[in-house]
Amino acid sequence: MDQAKEYLSQVTLPEGPCPCIYKGRSRHCTCFRIINPSVPEYSVHDIARIGSSWKKLAEMIDSEILEIHQVPPHIKLSPIQQNQVNAYKLNKTTVDKEALARELNSLKFPLYFIDYETLPAAVPKFNSFAPYDHIPFQYSLYVLESSDSEPKLLEFIHAESDDPSNYFVDSLKMHIGKEGSIIVWHKSFECGRNTELAERIPEMQDFIDNVNGRIYDLEEIFKKQYYVHKDFRGSTSIKQVSPFFAPELSYKDLEIQDGGAAAEMWSRIHLENTTAAEKEKIINALKIYCGRDAYEMYAIWKEIYKLIQ
């Protein structure tokens, strides 16, 4: 606190790097770019997991190596890190078609592309929830019966003020059949929410175990670098990846553009001063946003699937 007071009491903005200069991008403070104007938008800080390789990052920073194309050969990066650097230096997209075929051919139709929206409430809203437990209030699901069919949209959103858990699981059970792969992005999130639902609704344990056992994480294709594009910048988030497969699916035209905003908007539905018209507008915006996430997974799968035909 004393250091913070001294820092904030200075008349002019301090010059020179802050301690974040030796950390990976995900651990930078919110004013990193202001205090470190010499660091480019895409820098060595963006190399995958470079924050866990402190000595390598420190060596580059101390040698004033900031640009990705400046990374010298003697810096021994991991294969994933080196592939990222090479993709940028050579301006080349790397595609491992054999690995892609192995992954995608392991999936079983029908394919279920699903995305959840949740509210991690600081103050629990319902029984059986602890602070910041996720309340699953919505999902969008695209069902693809075969590789040459069109996906069918099924969706759920709980607009009432009671606990949505039972309604959420009942809807899942109605829409997801006993066969077929369930495709998500970053499966630890959906699997985690499913496990929590089973703890609250023990009679659904078998169904949820079955669902979790069939989940396939589409993000793994990019984590394992079966497809590497220089502009992924080491990230495997769906918002970073999807523009290279479905550029028309931008979030810029949406009223809701991220999960945090979706959770906040859902909370507004239950405020006493929210009119019926406003409630309907929010629900529609939530459906569009969540549906976009689910459809993006289908669009990415579709483009990758073409590569192995």
Helix (H) / strand (E) element for 179: namely none
pLDDT at 14 over 80: no
Dump pLDDT digits (tens) for 121-148: 999 999 999 999 999 999 999 999 999 9
Contacts of 26 (CB under 8 A, 6+ apart): 51
E strand intervals along the chain: 94-95, 111-120, 134-144, 152-157, 182-184, 215-217, 227-228
As a whole number, mean pLDDT of residues 80-109 equals: 94
Amino acid 250: pLDDT? 84
pLDDT range class, residue 31, cuts 50, 70, 90: confident
As a whole number of Å, the CA-based R_g of the chain is 22
Stated pTM of the model: 0.89
Which own/partner contact pairs does 204-211 have at CB distance under 8 Å and 24+ positions apart?
204/169, 204/173, 207/169, 207/172, 207/173, 208/169, 210/178, 211/172, 211/176, 211/182
> Which H/E stretch holds residue 264?
helix 259-269
Q: Residue 14 class from Cβ within 10 Å (0-12 exposed, 13-18 middle, 19+ buried)?
A: exposed
Provide the percentage of residues in the chain whose pLDDT is more than 90: 86
Q: Per-residue pLDDT tens for 175-226? A: 999 999 999 999 999 999 999 999 999 999 999 999 999 999 999 999 999 9
Cis, peptide link before residue 110, omega less than 30° from 0: yes
Confidence of residue 18 (pLDDT cuts 50, 70, 90): confident
**pLDDT given for residue 86 in this prediction:** 93
Q: Hey, what domains does the chain have and what are their CATH numbers?
A: 32-91 (no CATH), 93-309 (3.30.420.10)
Alpha-carbon span 57 to 65, nearest angstrom: 9
The pLDDT > 70 percentage for the chain reads 100
